[in-house]
Amino acid sequence: MLTTTNAIVLSKLKYRDNDLIVKCYTQQLGVVSFLLRGVLKSKKGHSRAAYFQLLSQLQLIIEYKNNRSLQAIKDTKLSTIYTSLHSHVLKSSIVMFLSEVLSNTLKEEEKNETLYSYIETTLMWLDTHSEYSNFHLLFLLNLTRYLGFYPDTKNIDQPFFNLREGRFEAKSQDRYSLSGKNLTLLKQLLGTTFDALSTVEINAKQRQSFLSMILLYFELHLGSFKTPKSLLIFNQVFN
C-alpha cells in the first residue's frame, strides 16, 4: 500500500556499510522505522541521506506493509526548509537533545494529528526566533499534555507540586514534592506561550535544575523513559 504522509525524523542509525535505519514520527501512521538501502553509497544517495537530519520535516511516499518492521520509502521531499535549526550550534544542540527525548517517548504506531501539529509548529517557531534559551523547557512541559500527564492546574496556588501525582498540594508528601525556585518556574511556564518565553528570566543553574526536574517527571509517568544520553553535552553547551 502506497501512503503519502508528512514526517519528522526522530533518529538515524548507520546499518552495514551503505544503509541507514531511520525512525520517523509520521502524521498518518505514528512512529515508523525505515530501511534506506544503499543511501550512503552514491552521490545521489548522499543527497537523499541529507534529508534525514534529526527533526527534519519531510513529505514521504511510503510502501507500507503491516507485517514488516522496517518500511520502504519510494520518494522523499522536504516539507519545511529550516534556515537555522541545523546550522546554529545552540539550536542544533536542542535538536539533538529533543530528538532523543521524542524518540524515547513516542513509541506507538498510531495516528495523533494534534501531537504531530504541536511538534511541527514549535520546531518552525524555534527555527525562526533568536530568543530561545528556555524553549526546551516549555516544549517538554507542553509535550506532557499530549502524553497524558500535563500538570493539573486546579490548585495552582498551593505551595507544593507532587511530581508523582501531577498536581499542586498544600503539604509536602515525599521527596517528589516540588517547592522553591523550580515550583515558581513551573507556575510561570504553565501560564506562558512560546512568544512570551523571553520574559521568563532563568540563569544557567536554574535552567539545568528545572530540566532535571522535568525529566524526572517524565520518568515517573513513563515507565520506559530513560535520561537522554545527550543531556550532559547539552548542559555543557548551554553553559
User: In this predicted model, what pLDDT tens digit does every residue of 175-197 receive, in sequence order?
Assistant: 999 999 999 999 999 989 999 99
Q: What is the mean pLDDT of the chain?
A: 92
Q: Do 62 and 142 reside in the same domain of the chain?
A: no
Shared domain for 129 and 92, answered yes or no, is yes
For residues 137 and 114, give the distance between their C-alpha atoms in angstroms, rounded to a whole number: 20
Q: Outline where DSSP puts E strands in the chain.
A: 2-15, 19-26, 30-36, 57-63, 72-78, 160-162, 167-169, 177-178
Contact 11, 24 (CB under 8 A): no
Q: Kindly state whether residues 63 and 118 are assigned to the same domain.
A: no
Number of domains in the chain: 2
Q: Give the span between the Cα atoms of 200 and 195, in whole angstroms.
A: 11
Backbone angles phi, psi at 137, to 5 degrees: -65, -50
Same domain (yes/no): 180, 197: yes
CATH number at residue 73: 2.40.50.140
- pLDDT score for 45: 55
pLDDT over 80 at 101, yes or no: yes
- Which pLDDT value is given to residue 66? 85
pLDDT of residue 4: 95
84: Cα within 13 Å, side-chain hemisphere? 15
Task: Examine the fold and report which residue of 55, 81, 107 is the final residue of a domain before the chain moves on.
Answer: 81
Last residue of a domain, one of 58, 81, 104: 81
Q: Are residues 4 and 96 in the same domain?
A: no
Q: How far apart are CA 10 and CA 87, in angstroms?
A: 18
Dig out the grid coordinates for 159 from the structure. 505551595
Band (pLDDT 50/70/90 cuts) for residue 42 is low
Domain extent, residue 73, equals: 1-81
Do 206 and 153 lie in a common domain?
A: yes
pLDDT (0 to 100) of residue 219: 96
Q: Which of 81, 99, 134 is the last residue of a domain?
A: 81
